[in-house]
Amino acid sequence: MAQEYDLVILGGGTGGYVAAIRASKLGLKTAIVEKRELGGTCLHRGCIPSKALLRSAEVFKQTKEADRYGISTENPTLNFTKVQERKQSIVDTLHKGVQGLMKKGKIDVFEGFGRILGPSIFSPTAGTISVEMNNGEENEMLIPKNVLVATGSRPKSLPGLEIDGEVVMSSDEALHMEELPESIIIVGGGVIGIEWASMLADFGVKVTVLEYLPHILPTEDEDISREMLKQMKKKGVDIVTSAKVLPDTIEKDNGVKVDAEVDGETVTYEAERMLVSVGRSANVDNIGLENTDIQVENGIIQTNDVYQTKESHIYAIGDVIGGMQLAHVASHEGMIAVEHMADQNPHPMNQDQVPSCIYSNPEVSSVGLTEKAAKEKGFDVKVGKFPFQAIGKALVHGETDGFVKIVADKESDDLLGVHMIGPHVTDMISEAALAQVLDATPWEIAETIHPHPTLSEAIGEAAMAVDGNQIHG
């Protein structure tokens, strides 16, 4: 028999499960339909497992360099099986945690593939949801007042460069490698490509990155992108920009070979494996959108600023609506959507207040406009930059590469953007995000007393440097 709900969520990733908890706290009778595992990409194939591997790579690198800190270690070796086991146990622990949260919130979880059927007499607003159950039992029918589509995304490839999961991998397969290759070609120098390049180089793999655009990390501030290029080269990563990979030339025989057009010449690249990280496609297929008036443009679901689709009782959030494809964005959008369903009048999200992070070594974090974007928007900008080299705690840590850069409006003194590269900057960006939310000026950031010695002093100094008032530089 069909079951009735206030809300049925398609997809139990970071967007879907957080929305479910918020809905349950707001008193909505809620169900989640999940075809794989609760936690989605972020927990099982994204943020968490990749950061667990990055941490092992960092420890390995630091151990090899321990002599710098006065500690002798005899020839440290890597046990990659243990690295993978550690990663998996972190994922499993968090997975259990999410399952527990669903029980605590009295959220019903249906394990299967969900589809929206058209509106019916039972569900004239949001349409019935049919769930093809993973256990082979008869389809469940769910009758919701509202639906939230949170079906996420999957890795994309280039035509002709098909993922075979062995030699040519996406990040999904790379996370499960049993052994490290001696060498790898990474196609795509965006966030995922650079995190993998950093990690694999720190593990001792010979890495070549082929990036189509003239810069790696093309969405970051150009100073950050340039510094990352320098740091990756220092690690021994071979980065080739403006490189057009020619998929038809791929040969897989005892490894992989592919040609790329670089500066008008054709160059052949060769490695044991290849990782393709050229973006992600939204999961919009086969979920019944054709039974609705929901609009899909360029492969992503279109919504308004509280995440309603053209069908006002069907909302969509997270990677499936494109934009900043980040876990914290998906969950924040989920909370806004649910609050709107519950008549809570939520604030729409302001993209300029959303921090984004890259967990390579060195790390990168940013919030707001890059210098270039600010200029393109017509701002007359002033910039403050402060290097970690002049920060005592960075010397103590033994990690002095990188800087904090603050972009502000000359006329109003408004903060426009904060960009950092260096040690632990992903843990430091929340101060800048709060400053953006509170509309703080660089002067107010500088007036905030930063404890000594901390890496956060670089933010205070960069804020002072906006008007040339930095102390230690």
Ligand X SMILES: Cc1cc2nc3c(=O)[nH]c(=O)nc-3n(C[C@H](O)[C@H](O)[C@H](O)COP(=O)(O)OP(=O)(O)OC[C@H]3O[C@@H](n4cnc5c(N)ncnc54)[C@H](O)[C@@H]3O)c2cc1C
CA 358 to chain centre: 8
Q: How many CB atoms lie within 10 A of CB 32?
A: 26
- Triad 215, 163, 182: Cα angle to 5°: 70
| Under rule CB under 6 A, residue 42 binds ligand X | yes
Residue 227: its H or E element:
helix 222-234
Q: Give, as ranges, the residues between 188 and 227 that touch ligand X (CB under 6 A).
A: 192
Closest CB to ligand X among 385 and 419?
Answer: 419
In single-letter form, the type of residue at position 78 comes to L
By CB under 6 A, which span of 145-153, 227-235, 268-276, 297-305 interacts with ligand X?
145-153
Dmax (CA) for the chain in angstroms is: 75
Check the annotation: does 112 bind a ligand.
no
Question: What are 312's two structure tokens?
Answer: 């006002």
Q: Give, as ranges, the residues between 157 and 176 that touch ligand X (CB under 6 A).
A: 171
Residue 192: CB minimum distance to ligand X, A: 5
Check the annotation: does 236 bind a ligand.
no
Check the annotation: does 267 bind a ligand.
no
Binding mask 55-94 for ligand X (x = CB under 6 A): ----------------------------------------
Residue 355: CB minimum distance to ligand X, A: 9
d(CA 206, CA 181): 9
Q: Give, as ranges, the residues between 22 and 41 that touch ligand X (CB under 6 A).
A: 33-36, 40-41
Closest CB to ligand X among 217 and 326?
Answer: 326
Closest CB to ligand X among 13 and 402?
Answer: 13
- The only residue of 13, 189, 355, 422 in contact with ligand X, by rule CB under 6 A: 13
Closest CB to ligand X among 98 and 418?
Answer: 98
Check the annotation: does 368 bind a ligand.
no
Question: What are 386's two structure tokens?
Answer: 């402060």
Residue 282: CB minimum distance to ligand X, A: 9
Q: Give, as ranges, the residues between 343 and 382 that touch ligand X (CB under 6 A).
A: 359
Q: Coil, strand or helix: which one is 401?
A: coil
| Under rule CB under 6 A, residue 127 binds ligand X | no
Check the annotation: does 152 bind a ligand.
yes
Q: Return the closest-CA partner of residue 359 out of 13, 79, 95, 53.
A: 53
Residue 201: its H or E element:
helix 191-202
Closest CB to ligand X among 153 and 470?
Answer: 153
- The only residue of 7, 11, 250, 456 in contact with ligand X, by rule CB under 6 A: 11
Closest CB to ligand X among 16 and 460?
Answer: 16
CA distances 159 to 170, 247, 264, 435, Å, are: 14, 7, 21, 43
Hey, which residues does 293 pair with through a beta bridge?
Answer: none
d(CA 302, CA 409): 32
d(CA 265, CA 134): 51
- The only residue of 128, 130, 151, 470 in contact with ligand X, by rule CB under 6 A: 151
Q: Coil, strand or helix: which one is 35?
A: coil
**Residue written as tokens 């791929």?**
250
Closest CB to ligand X among 277 and 441?
Answer: 277
Residue 445: CB minimum distance to ligand X, A: 24
Dihedral angle of Cα 178, 184, 188, 190, to the nearest 10 degrees: 60
Strands across the sheet with 265-271, in order?
A: 243-251, 256-262, 265-271
- The only residue of 6, 16, 190, 431 in contact with ligand X, by rule CB under 6 A: 16
Question: What are 414's two structure tokens?
Answer: 């408004």
In single-letter form, the type of residue at position 114 comes to G
**Cis ω on the peptide bond leading into residue 144 (within 30° of 0)?**
no
d(CA 393, CA 402): 13
| Under rule CB under 6 A, residue 327 binds ligand X | yes
Q: Characterize 137-160 residue by residue with b for buried, 16 or more Cβ atoms within 10 angstroms of its Cβ, and e for exposed.
A: eeebbbbbbbbbbbbbbebbbbee
Binding mask 391-410 for ligand X (x = CB under 6 A): --------------------
CA distances 126 to 103, 144, 209, 288, Å, are: 25, 6, 46, 12
Residue 52: CB minimum distance to ligand X, A: 11
Closest CB to ligand X among 211 and 461?
Answer: 211
- The only residue of 326, 342, 381, 425 in contact with ligand X, by rule CB under 6 A: 326
| Under rule CB under 6 A, residue 325 binds ligand X | yes
Check the annotation: does 319 bind a ligand.
yes
Residues catalogued as catalytic: 452
Question: Which residues contact ligand X by CB under 6 A?
Answer: 10-16, 33-36, 40-42, 45-47, 50, 113-114, 150-153, 171, 192, 283, 287, 318-319, 325-328, 330, 359
Instruction: Output the known binding site.
Output: 51, 114, 151-153, 188-195, 211, 279, 319
Instruction: Output the known binding site for FAD.
Output: 51, 114, 151-153, 319
